[in-house]
């Protein structure tokens, strides 16, 4: 997925993101998630990291079952 996004026209992709009514909300959710992972790794909290991974697995597994 990242490769396809990187291959896009950056100006077009900016417009898509900029005009998306939910774009900033989605970006903020991504930012929060990355900060959680960063803080977990930075503090060496292996149990929190495992919990985050399991939550992600459960979420993605549910999405696959729904499709």
* Predicted confidence (pLDDT) per residue in 8-48, tens digit: 899 998 998 899 998 899 899 999 999 999 999 999 999 99
Alpha helices in 1-67 (DSSP H): 2-7, 10-19, 23-43, 46-66
Say how far apart CA 47 and CA 54 lie, in whole Å. 11
Q: Taking the model in full, what pTM does it have?
A: 0.70
Furthest CA-CA distance within the chain: 41
Whether the pLDDT of residue 67 is over 90: the answer is: no
- Other beta carbons less than 10 A from residue 16's beta carbon: 12
């Amino acid at each position: 997925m990242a490769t396809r996004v990187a291959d896009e026209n950056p100006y077009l992709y900016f417009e898509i993101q900029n005009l998306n009514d939910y774009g900033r909300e989605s970006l903020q959710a991504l930012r929060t998630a990355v900060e959680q992972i960063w803080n977990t790794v930075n503090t060496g909290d292996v149990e929190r990291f495992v919990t985050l991974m399991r939550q992600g697995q459960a979420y993605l597994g549910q999405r696959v079952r729904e499709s």
